[in-house]
Copies of this chain bind each other. A is one copy, B any other.
């Protein structure tokens, strides 16, 4: 069985506390297999998955929203078109707009900070 790491390894590889991995599972963001003795078992795909979750959390999205949008982000579409309820589509559109607003806000402020640093740093490094 090549594809099964336990929570400790996933924790190290994603730089995420075990506690959080269990929490994400509890929140329905990831669904780990279990080995015979009850240990969680993760395959490679969870590494990216967790990174994605952390990125979104860090960007200010709550788990409730992440849970809703995650299924739409799978590379090989596992959620087919008929699965999408109208409510879900409208949630997605709302979230899309909010993310767009966030991006713009962050970009504006990022640029302002960059500009400030540029002005304040008189070409230090060679």
Residues of A within 8 A of B (CB): 52, 55-56, 58-60, 69, 72-73, 77, 81, 84, 89, 92-93, 95-96, 98-103, 105-107, 109-110, 112-114, 116-117, 119-121
Give A112's nearest chain B residue, CB to CB.
Answer: B73
Given the complex, which residues of B lie within 8 Å of A98, measured CB to CB? Answer: 58
Given the complex, which residues of B lie within 8 Å of A81, measured CB to CB? Answer: 119-120
Distance to closest chain B CB from A77 (angstroms): 8
Residue picked from A73, A99, A106, A107, most chain B C-beta under 10 Å: A106
Tell me the complex Cα distance, A113–B69, Å: 7
Tell me the complex Cα distance, A77–B118, Å: 13
Tell me the complex Cα distance, A67–B114, Å: 17
**Interface SS of chain A: helix, strand, loop or mixed?**
helix
Distance to closest chain B CB from A19 (angstroms): 20
Quick check: B109 and A52 within 8 Å, CB to CB? yes
Tell me the complex Cα distance, A55–B112, Å: 14
Quick check: A120 and B89 within 8 Å, CB to CB? yes
Quick check: A106 and B72 within 8 Å, CB to CB? no
Tell me the complex Cα distance, A102–B110, Å: 10
